[in-house]
Amino acid sequence: MRFNRVTAEVIERLKRIVGEDYVITSPEELEKYSIDEIEERYRHLPEVVVKPRTPEEIAAIMKLANEYRIPVTPRGAGTGLSGGAVPAHGGIVLSLERMNEILEIDPDNMMVTVEPGVVLADMMRAVEARGLFYPVDVSTLESCHVGGNVAENAGGARAVKYGITGHWVYGLEMVTPTGEIVHLGGKRIKDATGYNLVQLVVGSEGTLGIITKITFRLTVKPKYVLDLLIPFDSLENAVTQVLGLLREESSLSAIEFMDSLSIKAAERYLKLTLPYDDSEAHLLIQVDGMEEEGIWQAAERVYERLTAAGAKEVFVADNRLTREKLWRARRNIAEALKALNNYVSVEDIVVPRSKIPEIARRLRELSQIHDLEVPLYGHIGDGNLHPTPVSGDRDEETWIRDLEAFLSDMFKAVKELGGNITAEHGVGIKRRKYLHLCVEPAEIELMKAIKRAWDPNGILNPGKIFPVEGTC
Ligand SMILES: Cc1cc2nc3c(=O)[nH]c(=O)nc-3n(C[C@H](O)[C@H](O)[C@H](O)COP(=O)(O)OP(=O)(O)OC[C@H]3O[C@@H](n4cnc5c(N)ncnc54)[C@H](O)[C@@H]3O)c2cc1C
């Protein structure tokens, strides 16, 4: 597949669509849109950045891009970890940053309708001010955009009880790759009318359309929340306890895991100290509910079960400051590892929850075989872990060679255990060469057929999920 370069004529036509101020060509500005939170080696410059304000402008941009066969890469806040917003084939980066209004909070239907460039935490605060609750707690909530959340089907800590982004998306307005504005789904709680295109677009990584409006369902905010930090002397023991907890407690909204390497990195980076930081592993558990007594009883049961099973202590955080400190540490592990090492690779595997102890054991083994330090943390209550190999003092070439050997062994282990290569960060450019390891060829062909049908010229976010034909 061949793409064309952005010409002076295309720039002029883009300026007529969005206005001169919103067509960016200066090299320093283009640089900012050439990477997300993926590793530096994936950086690729766009030829132009456009910042439209309306779906009509986006439709006109897509028609123009089809006419000239120019690639278009949608971009939210650029916090993605798989290179989804990197313009891997150059062309136009289409930034949704100016489409950032909360359009309607509808208490009767318990729904909120927003533009894609709204920052997640802003939407959460706005609905909470109206007595409602949006529960998907992505770690980058203070910076990521809700459009990026939908495009990646973002998860986060509270998926144990509340699910992931896709569970809350009911309606979408979208510009198709060929430049039509379409409305999918709506405020209906039940709808069995034809294919569920809303859920096809969720998690499509900006390859099937540009999302211009989202209607999210909301729920009732739990009145009481407690966080429990539970240190263990044995990593195996910590991870093994998760299954019993899930079977017996319905009030747990998060079960997070951090090994000692991760905790130490967060402490160094944030200059704070966590309780029992000499332990081999910690669980961070959240309990929430409408009755104060109920959540304390649940915490008591967790305490009894886990101390009987060998936990060193159960540290209860019941005030805002302590709770924030614990979650700040957990949310900043990836950033800490990046800041403290030359090269890191944030991974995002998922296995059936029954296989959590086995994958933790295999990861340890692989870390030893490959002589690679692999801090381990993640949303263990969902079977979703973020093994994050770090380079130590390797040069870049040795690092990439050793990393790739580790990753292909890791993904083979994940496949054997019935897992998959990504749970919430997406395939992007980072994992496309590993897709075939865990996804069968017929499923990949069905995905490619959908892409061809929706985007016949292959110009929307090319090179993501699968490579562009004729390239590697
Ligand atoms: C430290 C750290 C912690 C993280 N923690 C989590 C976590 O807990 N859970 C989790 O799920 N993720 C996490 N992430 C990953 C990231 O924050 C999420 O994937 C987030 O949803 C990306 O949103 P964004 O606005 O930054 O999107 P971007 O990075 O800008 O884009 C992501 C993808 O969405 C597409 N896209 C963006 N907007 C649109 C649109 N309007 N229409 C169509 N496509 C669009 C882009 O083309 C790209 O493919 C973390 C990242 C970091 C750096």
DSSP string, 364-406: HHHHHHTT-B---EEEGGGTEE----B-TT--HHHHHHHHHHH
Which residues in the chain land under pLDDT 70?
Answer: 1, 471-472
pLDDT tens-digit map of 257-295: 999 999 999 999 999 999 898 999 999 999 999 999 999
The CATH code of the domain at 341-425 is: 3.30.70.2740
Ranges of H-type helices in 146-288 = 146-152, 159-162, 197-201, 235-248, 260-270
- From 138, 213, 258, give the residue whose CB has the most ligand 1 atoms within 8 Å, as the site to mutate: 138
pLDDT tens-digit map of 422-467: 999 999 999 999 999 999 999 999 999 999 999 999 999 999 999 9
Between the CA of residue 14 and those of 9, 20, 53, 56, what are the distances in Å? Answer: 9, 8, 13, 13
102-220 CATH, one of 1.10.10.410, 3.30.70.360, 3.30.465.10, 2.40.50.100:
3.30.465.10
> Given the DSSP bridges, would you call strands 315-317 and 224-232 parallel, antiparallel or unpaired?
antiparallel
Residues having CB closer than 6 A to ligand 1 are 36-37, 73-81, 84-85, 96, 116, 138-140, 144-145, 147-149, 151-152, 154-156, 205-206, 210-211, 334-335, 424-425, 461, 464
Question: What atom in ligand 1 is closest to the CA of residue 143?
Answer: 26
Give the pair of three-digit tokens for residue 128.
Answer: 């909470």
Ligand 1: distance of its center to the CA of 370 in Å? 30
Ligand 1: distance of its center to the CA of 138 in Å? 9
Residue intervals in the chain for CATH 3.30.70.2740:
341-425
Domain 224-335 has CATH 3.30.70.2190: yes
What pTM did the predictor assign?
0.97
Question: Looking at residue 472, what is its pLDDT?
Answer: 57
* Structural contact between residues 459 and 66, judged by C-beta atoms closer than 8 angstroms: yes
Question: What atom in ligand 1 is closest to the CA of residue 461?
Answer: 47
pLDDT tens-digit map of 332-344: 999 999 999 999 9
What rounded mean pLDDT belongs to the chain?
A: 96
Residue intervals in the chain for CATH 3.30.465.10:
102-220
- From 34, 122, 140, 205, give the residue whose CB has the most ligand 1 atoms within 8 Å, as the site to mutate: 140
- From 51, 53, 81, 174, give the residue whose CB has the most ligand 1 atoms within 8 Å, as the site to mutate: 81
Helix (H) or strand (E) holding 133: strand 132-133
